[in-house]
Amino acid sequence: MLELDYRVGYTLLAVIFLCAGLGKIFLWRFHVDVSSAAGIPFPVAAVLSSILIDAVGVLALISNRFVWQVSLVLSVYVLAVTWFFYLKGARFRQESYDQISQAAKNIAIMGGLILAAVNEYHQQFQ
């Protein structure tokens, strides 16, 4: 039963990255422009890379293969996204509440990814 619980959690994490990846594909120009405005170097390459990271993350989480390695990579990726898009220019005022909420959501996602990484690491090397 516990294995099923983990699989449900991994699938729910995968849905987040599936939606993000599809959003970047279907709103390509928007994401390149936003990345450029955020000061990310080589925005086209960055968006392409992020689509690849999203896709690999989805496949790993759903297939339950390389979960601990991919979860660590996704955690670093989400940390970078959180910094560049939500915290870098945040003023921590009422007007910035949405940015802070998005940052908090991403921190929670990182927590889930780190739990997945630790769980799968222990299962693999136990």
Q: Minimal CA–CA distance to 50: which of 35, 30, 72, 62?
A: 35
Contacts of 6 by beta carbon, 8 Å cutoff, 6+ apart: 116, 119
pTM of the model: 0.89
Query: Angle at which helices 2-26 and 97-125 pack, to 10 degrees?
Result: 130
pLDDT at 94: 64
- Domain span at 64: 2-125
Pair 31, 74: CB distance under 8 Å:
no
For 39-46, what is the mean pLDDT? Answer: 93
pLDDT digits (tens, 9 = 90+) for 68-98: 999 999 999 999 999 988 887 666 666 677 8
Using CB atoms within 10 Å of the CB of residue 22, give its burial: 0 to 12 exposed, 13 to 18 middle, 19+ buried.
middle
pLDDT at 4: 73
Token pair of 49, please? 């890379």
Instruction: Answer yes or no: is pLDDT of 44 > 70.
Output: yes
* Domains contained in the chain, number: 1
Alpha-carbon gap, residue 61 to 53, rounded angstroms: 12
